[in-house]
Amino acid sequence: MSALSAAVSLPFQVETLKENGLNIVVVPLRNGSNVIETDVIYNVGSGDEKMGKSGIAHMIEHMNFKSTKNLKAGEFDTIVKRMGGVDNASTGFDYTRYFIKSSSSNLDTSLKLFADLMGNLTLKDSEFQTERQVVMQERLWRTEDNPIGYLYFRFFNTAFVYSPYHWTPIGFHSDILNWNIKDLKDFHKTYYQPTNATVLIVGDIDPKEAFAKTKKYFGNIKNKKEIPAFYENEPDSDGEKVVNIHRYTGGLEYLALGFRTSKLSDKRDEAAKYKDKVVLDVLGYILGGTNSSLLDEKLSDELKLTSDISSFNMKLKHGGVFFIIATMNKDKKASDAKDEILKVIQNIKERKISEADLDKAKAAINARFLYSFESSSKLAGIFASFIGGADSKDVDVSLKHLKNYIKDVNSVNLKDLQDVSDYYFTKANLTTLTMSPKSNSHKEDE
């Protein structure tokens, strides 16, 4: 058995608490490291927000490190540091993830802290008002003062019109200013419930102990209300969307180009749609996933148009985007880069791509997976991305896809690349944003 096959065959175990529907996933490494990572993954992100309340999932993430009925603000971090651990969190479109990396002997402390956040968060208005300013500053440096961040935000504003994917997790500036503490309490009460969460424990731990202790701390937390169903209303795209932005960029042009990869009109079964996602992952590596990818070789090495170019398949629970983003070299045009990118994509559609390019992409994906198995933290990140991602409605389906992912990747052939490219990489699905340096004749974009 290869190292990779052995890794993917790790004996992870899953249990759902009958008391409240909490999912528990344990991945025992038994490597003698005495290191574990404990995660809590909530199936909620910016994709669950409403227009006018954007960014609130991210704000809740910040507030989760404030006071509870048992802890003062900041005490969570103090306890974790005192035991030699590290904690952090992140908010995405579809899920929010909290983690503590610690020694195996501190599992009790990690679980107790996370259970306290789920069941006893106080959400004080005074703490909220202070933290809102922190989030505003984060938005400033992530989006307003960052050309790539701003382009990324504006891309989703353009590609999606009706769905909550119209904004990224940081939210709109005006919405951040207009939230109130009741908004936060309602959101937390709705989505921060056991039935909407998974506790993930990865590392040097005995599964029986992990399940028993998780049940001890989380088993008595009650669900408070029914989680609303997502109303999917983003219509199929019926034509290319093009936006030209003018901002202070340091004299460089930038390009964001993406194809939407889901359609309301697509009535195929979930298995067929999932296979497409795997093929799109492979295409992401072929086109711009490595330093020797097709786009990097053509646009950066040969034509000297770009200083940086990358592509990736963004799998979303209620949609998806195949995304290409590039920074131009000085005095080079984003429009020229777009033309060359579309030529490379056309070559794939016409099967003007070698088996060697496909094999190189597969090898890169295999290597990334192998690398993730080197530590509990990296491995937890992979598991969390499947548990909270596009298939998060069913943890068993998510983990089945994870278990079979490398096999599915390695089964992709050239015809798959052509078929999927033909289906998704069309003008109707395309959104293009260019950003060029602002001149005196242009007013600053809001």
What's the rounded Cα separation, in Å, for the pair 172 and 54? 6
Q: DSSP state, 258?
A: E
- Residue 355, burial from CB neighbour count under 10 angstroms (0-12, 13-18, 19+): exposed
Q: Which of 42, 313, 311, 321 is nearest to 166 (CA)?
A: 321
Can 37 be counted among the known catalytic residues? no
Q: Is 283 within 8 Å of 256 (Cβ atoms)? A: no
In the structure encoding, which two tokens stand for residue 30, read together? 């038994």
Q: Is 369 within 8 Å of 405 (Cβ atoms)? A: yes
β strands within 195-253, DSSP E: 197-203, 241-247
Half-sphere exposure of 185 (CA within 13 A, CB side): 8
37, 61, 234, 340: which is the annotated catalytic residue? 61
In the structure encoding, which two tokens stand for residue 26, read together? 């344990």
What does the chain come to in residues? 446
β strands within 61-206, DSSP E: 86-91, 96-103, 197-203
Helix (H) or strand (E) holding 314: strand 306-316
List strands edge to edge, sheet with 254-260.
241-247, 430-437, 254-260, 319-328, 306-316
Q: How far is CA 43 from CA 46, 96, 383, 392, 426, in A?
A: 10, 7, 14, 7, 31
Could you give the 3-state DSSP secondary structure of residue 29?
Answer: coil
What's the rounded Cα separation, in Å, for the pair 57 and 95? 9
Residues acting as catalytic residues: 61
